[in-house]
Structure formats: structure tokens, C-alpha cells
Chains A and B, each alone.
Chain A
Amino acid sequence: GQSLEQPSEVTAVEGAIVQINCTYQTSGFYGLSWYQQHDGGAPTFLSYNALDGLEETGRFSSFLSRSDSYGYLLLQELQMKDSASYFCAVRGAGNMLTFGGGTRLMVKP
């Protein structure tokens, strides 16, 4: 099976940089993805890492180290609208996806 750990809550100020970590234990690993979910809304896909290294998309970057079973999501130039929950998810065989419990990010002025 799969298990993922991420912090339950992170607080940061507007304009700052925040890193949300995700560690995983898996019986099969094909990639790590990140999702954003605002209260009352549906999850939105942010990024996918299949190989080690950093993937950058605008203000958001995602990193993966398969040897360390570790990844992180980096959010730069934080804005109030970035206040949301962020989930990491591991893709296993087929299209089986296992999600972490989510990190609630609060951005303060």
C-alpha cells in the first residue's frame, strides 16, 4: 500500500515563500502530483513529477527525490488567493492514486 505524510497546516505572510513537504512510503511509485483545493471547491491539478528534480510553473514549483521518497511544493510571492488546502498524491500501478491528508495554507496580510 501507500502512505503519505504532509504537514496539516502552514501559515505565511503575503509576498513570502512557503514550502510544503510530502514524504511517502509506497509499494510502487510512478509519480508525485500536487493539487490545490479552495474551501467548498473541487481540487485543481498543479503539477506532476515523474523524475527527480524541479518542475516550475509560474509562481509554483514542485520537486521530487525518488531516492529519499520525498517531494515538495514551493509557492513564491504568496497571494491571499493562495490560501487553500494542498494535497500531494502518489501514482501507483495502473492509475491508482493515493492522496496525502492535505496541508491547509493560510496566507496573512
Chain B
Amino acid sequence: EAQVTQNPRYLITVTGKKLTVTCSQNMNHEYMSWYRQDPGLGLRQIYYSMNVEVTDKGDVPEGYKVSRKEKRNFPLILESPSPNQTSLYFCATQRGPQETQYFGPGTRLLVL
């Protein structure tokens, strides 16, 4: 079964405590992205990757890091989380830029 998994699904943390949200896909897709979703602002792309070791900034990359060391995984790293990073985060994958984009179930993050 084609899957995009994210972990954790829910996380409460404190300002400054480094955290990683994992994203894994079993569809052998080249393209992967991270988004955050906030009320009234829709989805905003944080980073995207078009292949292993190829990543680029989206609209709102500040405060985030990513890595793509293997095709199936695309972790999102918050080195020093702040309250304004409280949000719902989605990972997504697609075979190519014009292809269907599949979203993970989302990670709800609260930074106190």
C-alpha cells in the first residue's frame, strides 16, 4: 500500500529544544516537500527536494532545516523551535512535478 508516514503525529515542546519530524514514503518518489498550515494562511511550502542530496527553499524556510540522504526519507529539523512555529505540518511526495502529490497525515506541533 502506498504510504506517506510522519512521526510524531502530535508534539508539545518548549522553546529552544531541538526536534525532528520524520517523513517516510514507500513509493520511490523523487520529489518531496514540507508544508505548514496555519488558519487563514493556507498551506505554505517550507522546503522541497527533487532528489537525494538536492533540497531547496520554499516560501517560509526560516527556522527550519531539512536533509535528503536517502530517497525514502525527508526529515524536518527545528534546531531552536519558537512559539511562532506552532502549526500543522504536512510532508508530501510526488513522482514528478506534474504528478499527483500525496500528503502525509500531518504533525500537529505546539511550541510553548
Query: Which residues 65-93 of B sit at the A interface, judged by CB distance below 8 A?
Result: 90, 92
In the docked arrangement, what's the CA distance between A43 and B103, Å? Answer: 6
User: 11 interchain pairs (CB within 8 A)?
Assistant: A42-B104, A42-B105, A43-B43, A44-B103, A87-B42, A94-B50, A95-B33, A95-B50, A98-B44, A99-B45, A101-B41
Do A42 and B103 touch across chains, with their CB atoms under 8 A apart?
A: yes
In the docked arrangement, what's the CA distance between A90 and B70, Å? Answer: 27
A71 interface contact, C-beta 8 A: no
Do A94 and B56 touch across chains, with their CB atoms under 8 A apart?
A: yes
In the docked arrangement, what's the CA distance between A99 and B104, Å? Answer: 17
B101 interface contact, C-beta 8 A: yes
Do B90 and A97 touch across chains, with their CB atoms under 8 A apart?
A: no
In the docked arrangement, what's the CA distance between A50 and B96, Å? Answer: 13
Do B98 and A31 touch across chains, with their CB atoms under 8 A apart?
A: yes
Do A102 and B45 touch across chains, with their CB atoms under 8 A apart?
A: no
Contact of A95 among B42, B48, B90 (CB under 8 A): B48
Do A95 and B103 touch across chains, with their CB atoms under 8 A apart?
A: no
Residues of B near A48 (CB, < 8 A) are 98-99
Residues of A near B97 (CB, < 8 A) are 30-31, 91, 95
Do B42 and A101 touch across chains, with their CB atoms under 8 A apart?
A: yes
Nearest B-chain residue to A43, judged by Cβ: B103
Do A98 and B45 touch across chains, with their CB atoms under 8 A apart?
A: yes
Residues of A near B35 (CB, < 8 A) are 99
In the docked arrangement, what's the CA distance between A106 and B96, Å? Answer: 32
In the docked arrangement, what's the CA distance between A91 and B94, Å? Answer: 13
Do A96 and B48 touch across chains, with their CB atoms under 8 A apart?
A: yes
In the docked arrangement, what's the CA distance between A87 and B43, Å? Answer: 9
